[in-house]
Every structure is written in C-alpha cells, then in structure tokens.
Chain A
Amino acid sequence: MKKLLLALTASLGMIAAAQAQDKDPTLACFVYVGSHNDGGYSEGHDKARLFLQKEMGDEVKTKYVENVSEGPDATRVLQQLARSGCNIIFATSFGFMDSVVKVAKQFPDVKFEHATGYKTADNLATYNARFYEGRYILGKIAAKKSKTGTAGYIVSFPIPEVVRGIDSFMLGAQSVNPDFKIKIVWVNTWFDPGKEADAAKALFDQGVDIIVQHTDSPAPLQIAEKRGKFGFGQASDMSKFAPDAQLTAIVDHWGPYYVQRVKALRDGTWKSQSSWEGLKDKILIMAPYENMSADTKKMAEETEQKIKDGFDPFTGPITKQDGSVWLKKGETAKDETLLGLNFYVKGVDDKLPQ
C-alpha cells in the first residue's frame, strides 16, 4: 500500500512537472547599467521589456535589476539572477561582457544574451543594432539643412559604436556636401544634462547650426530649441522636449528582438548567434522627419528606404582621415572592421586616443 501510494505521488508529481513545463511562463531577466527610466539607453531596454511582457502575456514573466556597475557587481547580479530561476538573461551593456562570459560558463542551462559585445558561447548570444545606418540619414539631413556647413557633434566616449556613428554621419553629410565639417566635443560621460547642455552651447557659440549627440539626455536638444537651432534625438523620440528643433531621432527598438528570442527559447529553437540587425529589421526606427523642407524630408525618406533595401553606408570609395584608402569603389566594410572601428574617415577634424 505504502509503495503504491509512493508510486502514485511520484507519477502525479511527474505529470505536474510535465504540465508545468508546458504552462510555466518563461522567466526573462534584464540587467541595466543605468536606471530603468534614465530617459536614454537603459530606458530603451526597459521599454522593450514591457513590450515583451505585453506581446507574450502569460507566457513570460520579467524581472530587472537596475544601476548595476560593471565588474564584480555585474557578475554577482548575473549569478543571483541565474540562481533565482531566470531562463534567459539579457545583459544590456557592453561592460558586462566578461561577467556574462564567466557566469554563462557556470550556468550552462540558462541562456544569456549580451548586447553590443563580441564574445559568444553555446548558451551566450550577442545582439546589436546597426545604429550607424540611422546616423547616415542624420548626416544627409544635416548637410542639406545646415546653412553654415558645419555641425556640432557631442560625444560620450571613444568606443567603436560612437566612432561608427561619427564616420557614418560624415559619409552621409559628404554625399550631400563634400566640404561639410563637424566640430566634435567629448563630454566624457553618457549622462550629465548640465555638461551636455554646456557642450551644446559651446558648439552653437562657435557657429554651428545643427548638433548631433551621442549622449543620453535631451538637454542638448532643449538648448537647440531655445536658440532656434536644430538637433537630433538620441535613443528615443525626444520631440516633446524640442518640438521645433528635433529633426528626427534614432529610436532604439529592442522589443521585437526580445520577443523573437524568448519565443525561440520556448520553441526549443534558441541557438547562440551574433545578431546585428538594422533599419530593415526595425531594431532601430526613425522618428518622424520634422522641421525640414519637403525636399529634405523626401531625401531622408528615400535614403531610409535605400538602406532598408540593402544599401550599406560604408560602401567605397572611402578614404581614411590620414588620406589612405579604406574601401575601394563598390567595396563594403567587413563587420569585423566595423565592430572594432577606431579610425575616422576623411574630413573629420579630431584625433582619437590611440
């Protein structure tokens, strides 16, 4: 009797377990380097988390940990998430890379996804967006719109992502106006509204009439609005902050990717990969083209379409800053080069730390 009961409970347990596997929601966890509502990069990921939640309803549960410093803190948080039963963990900042690699090795049953990195493993995939495609469009708009032929560029740190953006912007601008110039100001922070505003003012004082930013706060756009000049939003549509100054914005749109990956995990089709999608995959989208002539708008839309149809902004002939040839006519840049890009194209008047 006792044995029977034991067997019965055991089999019941198994059935329950099997059912649970069918019905249990997938636990998707996120680690942010900033605050979930920082108005910039991390918020982009958090919006995507909410998108995932909405799209998949009961099939998924999400958790996040915010303001996680790179280094031991990141390792600990990742381990803690893995231990707490997360099925898939999205580490959303480049600086988490070595932590993710380490933790992925310790938890082979958990899937890891690392944004903007380059190290993969069986259970560790990477994902990134070709934001530079958007910057090419910004370059074209700026060159067409600018009266002074000079744009100001506010940048955070010299990492390949930022350098790609500068180069791509410049190539776009030069395709409209070969003599176009940019003035670059490094603020050495991703986020400090005051400093970003100061940099914007300094640039306007030096006679630029359009600014581009690769920092997270809407402060530079607010300055542009106040001075009757123009700028572009970063990471999200910032037109609320500068309705008359924002020309367009590159909007981060990680949501569909997250849905696709969590679905794959539930189907059992999840595989490690290095995903680097662009405008055509809608991982970045352009905010409405505003405050520009119909002519400029048309050019922007056509460029966007051209890129979606397969045009690569890094298509030769392209000369490096030092005058040497980078890409011959018709040649396109290799992903490996782009991933670690650390040189400027011709016409950029700045020096990268070497």
Chain B
Amino acid sequence: MNLFLAMLPTIMTAATPLLLAAVGELVVERSGVLNLGVEGMMIIGAVTAFAGAQATGSPYAGMVCGILAGAAFSLLFGFLTLTLVANQVATGLSLTILGLGLSGMIGDSFVGTPGIQMGALPIPGLAEIPVVGPILFSHDLIFYLSILLVIAVHWFLFRTRTGLELRSIGDNHDSAHALGMGVIRVRYLAVMFGGACAGLAGAQLSLVYTPQWTENMTAGRGWIALALVVFASWRPVWVLVGAYLFGAVSIGQFNAQAFGFGIPSQFLSSMPYLATVVVLVLISRNRRLTLMNTPACLGKPFVPDR
C-alpha cells in the first residue's frame, strides 16, 4: 500500500504531458480537424520552454514561451490545412518532421545544460491533509493546470454555446456553415488551442519531468497522446482516465521489474500499449456511444461555397 502511494506522484508526472497534449488534440478533433503533428508541436514547446527559462531564469516565463511557441507552430498546420485545404494527415506528419528538425537546430547549444526545475506549489491548507495532501496538492503548476484543463474543456464542450458550435462544426461542417457559423475561424482557434496544449506538454517535459533539453526528448509521447484521444472516444474525462491508466501501467511495470519477477522486460514494456487496446475494445462495445461522440467530419476538407 505504501509503495502504491509512493508510486502515485510518479504516475502523475508521467501522465501529465500525455494528458495535456491529448486534451488539446481532443478539442482540435472535436472541431473536425485531425492534426497528427502533436509530437512536433510538443518538442517545439519543450525546446522553447527550456530556452525561455534559461533566458529569463524563470520556469514560468519558460512555460509561457512553450505555450506560445506550440500555438504559433500549429498555425503553420492551420494555414496549410484550413486555408489551403491541404491533406490533414500528411501535413500533420510533416509538421512532426519539421518540429523534430527545428527543435534540434534551436536546441543545439542547450545540450548538456542543466535545466531550471519548476518547483512544487503546495496548496495552502489542502497540502497539509494527511496522506491525500502530499499526493494531490503538492505538485507543480503544470499539473494543476492539466486537471483544470480537463474540467474546463469538458465544461466548454458540453455546457457552453461555443462548445456546442465547435462540436456541430466537427459533426457536419456544411450545415454548420449554412447556419452561419465561422467554420474556418473556429477551427483555427481549435488548432491553436491544441498547439498551445502540446506546447505546455513539452514545457512540462523540459521543466518538470526531466529539466534538461535533449533532442527527441518527447520520445513518441505525442503519438501516445493521439491514441489517447481515440481511446477516450473524444470525451475529456476519459482522456484523464486513459492518460493515468497508461502512466500507471508504465510505472507499474518498472516496479514489477524491480521486484524481480523474471518476466522478459520486453513483455512488461509492451503492457501499457496492450492494456490501452484491451480497454478500448471493452469500452467500444457500446456502438451508439462511440458513434455519438466521434466527430463525423474528422479529417475531411472544408471549403465554403460562395
């Protein structure tokens, strides 16, 4: 039990970047746009956050840089896919290639420089609660933001008029356009929101998770985030479940190894991937629910008729 409690903060740190990037991508996909460039935006966020923190000495300034850079970088995707109606899948993948290369160029001089750690911000009062306090309320700012974002996105999508608009654009952009909604404008904003979240996820990597800059340090986390959106059937709260499930299995398998069960490590390492597939299969049984939540226009180009 004690070990499990000790594992929780580790799981949270591991799940946070996945959660952030996935929540951002969820909003993008709900608006009907499929951006496979999460990995690229994330790594751009990581390198600019690191650079920003180095330049200003403040991890918070660094975090803001990461968010802005992620959003700015996503505009490139937005311009190509929304204004020029380029293919979304290919553009997203190209964005990843560009992001990995560009971050390597920008970060060239930062390799081998220790980063600035974003410290914990215990919430006064709550953090003193025994057992629960240290686990839930003694984290860094980005962790709190990740939880707030899930709540905010859920509220936005299902409780606000704009959220409804965004969802209807994702479900049927032609009729949304006919009803006078600004399809392109909303999608631009959604894409930028996704970029900002991916940038924040990157900032978490280079400021909290492992305060350093190294090329490719996202190591495929953007891809996992993409999978989590699908896993969650485009529902924010389920993204939270998915990210924590994935994090828990990843950390759990390290602990299992340390116990020395003697199972080949490759099989243990593949557990998080298999677990997500199995759980997806279980929760996808309800055909109506998935159909209801899948944005029908996902990945389809939109050009307003004039």
Are A and B in direct contact (Cβ within 8 Å)? yes
- Contact residues of A with B, CB < 8 Å? 35, 37-39, 43, 152, 183-189, 191-199, 201-203, 205-206, 217-219, 222, 226, 236, 240-241, 349-351, 353
Confirm or deny: B64 has a beta carbon within 8 angstroms of a beta carbon on chain A.
no
The residue that A197 contacts in the complex, of B3, B112, B209, B258, with Cβ under 8 A, is B209
Chain B interface SS verdict (over half):
helix
Given A191-B216, A194-B209, 10 more contacts at CB 8 Å? A35-B216, A39-B111, A39-B212, A184-B257, A191-B219, A193-B210, A193-B217, A199-B254, A217-B214, A219-B212
Confirm or deny: B199 has a beta carbon within 8 angstroms of a beta carbon on chain A.
no
Confirm or deny: B269 has a beta carbon within 8 angstroms of a beta carbon on chain A.
yes
Q: How far is the CA of A186 from the CA of B255 in the complex (A)?
A: 11
Q: Is the CB of A185 within 8 A of B258?
A: yes
Q: How far is the CA of A201 from the CA of B209 in the complex (A)?
A: 11
Q: Which of B1-32 contact A (CB under 8 A)?
A: 3, 6-7, 10, 14, 17
The residue that A206 contacts in the complex, of B114, B255, B264, with Cβ under 8 A, is B255
Q: How far is the CA of A198 from the CA of B259 in the complex (A)?
A: 15
What 1/0 flags go to B103-135 for Cβ under 8 Å of A?
010001001111001000000000000000000
Q: Is the CB of A35 within 8 A of B215?
A: yes
Residue of A nearest to B9 (CB): A201
Q: Is the CB of B262 within 8 A of A351?
A: yes
Q: Is the CB of A184 within 8 A of B260?
A: yes
Min C-beta distance of B182 to chain A, whole Å? 39
The residue that A205 contacts in the complex, of B6, B17, B210, B216, with Cβ under 8 A, is B6
The residue that B219 contacts in the complex, of A192, A199, A240, with Cβ under 8 A, is A192
Confirm or deny: B266 has a beta carbon within 8 angstroms of a beta carbon on chain A.
yes
Confirm or deny: B221 has a beta carbon within 8 angstroms of a beta carbon on chain A.
yes
Residue of B nearest to A195 (CB): B219
Contacts of A186 in B (CB 8 A): 257, 265, 269
Given contacts A193-B209, A222-B210, A349-B260, contact A37 B254 (CB under 8 A): no
Given contacts A37-B111, A206-B3, A350-B260, contact A194 B214 (CB under 8 A): no
Q: How far is the CA of A224 from the CA of B211 in the complex (A)?
A: 13
Residue of A nearest to B113 (CB): A240
Contacts of B113 in A (CB 8 A): 240
Number of interface residues of B (CB under 8 A): 37
Confirm or deny: B239 has a beta carbon within 8 angstroms of a beta carbon on chain A.
no
- Contact residues of B with A, CB < 8 Å? 3, 6-7, 10, 14, 17, 104, 108, 111-114, 117, 205, 209-212, 214-217, 219, 221, 250-251, 254-255, 257-260, 262, 264-266, 269
Contacts of A185 in B (CB 8 A): 254, 257-258, 265
Q: Is the CB of A217 within 8 A of B212?
A: yes
Q: How far is the CA of A186 from the CA of B219 in the complex (A)?
A: 17
Q: How far is the CA of A196 from the CA of B250 in the complex (A)?
A: 12
Q: How far is the CA of A199 from the CA of B258 in the complex (A)?
A: 9
Contacts of B258 in A (CB 8 A): 152, 183-185, 202-203, 206
Given contacts A185-B254, A217-B212, contact A240 B112 (CB under 8 A): yes
- What are 13 residue pairs bridging A and B, where the CB atoms are less than 8 Å apart in the complex? A37-B111, A37-B215, A43-B111, A193-B219, A195-B219, A195-B250, A196-B210, A202-B254, A202-B258, A217-B212, A218-B114, A218-B212, A241-B212
Given contacts A35-B104, A152-B258, A188-B265, contact A205 B7 (CB under 8 A): yes
Q: How far is the CA of A236 from the CA of B6 in the complex (A)?
A: 31
Contacts of B259 in A (CB 8 A): 183, 206
Residue of B nearest to A239 (CB): B114
Min C-beta distance of B62 to chain A, whole Å? 16
Contacts of A202 in B (CB 8 A): 7, 10, 251, 254-255, 257-258
Min C-beta distance of A351 to chain B, whole Å? 4
Contacts of B6 in A (CB 8 A): 205
Q: Is the CB of A197 within 8 A of B264?
A: no
Contacts of A351 in B (CB 8 A): 262
Contacts of B260 in A (CB 8 A): 183-184, 349-350
Q: How far is the CA of A203 from the CA of B7 in the complex (A)?
A: 10
Contacts of B265 in A (CB 8 A): 185-186, 188
Given contacts A39-B214, A183-B258, A193-B214, contact A188 B108 (CB under 8 A): no
Residue of A nearest to B269 (CB): A188
Q: Is the CB of B3 within 8 A of A205?
A: yes
Residue of B nearest to A181 (CB): B260
Contacts of A183 in B (CB 8 A): 258-260
Contacts of A349 in B (CB 8 A): 260
Min C-beta distance of A47 to chain B, whole Å? 10
The residue that A39 contacts in the complex, of B10, B112, B262, B269, with Cβ under 8 A, is B112
Q: Is the CB of A38 within 8 A of B214?
A: yes
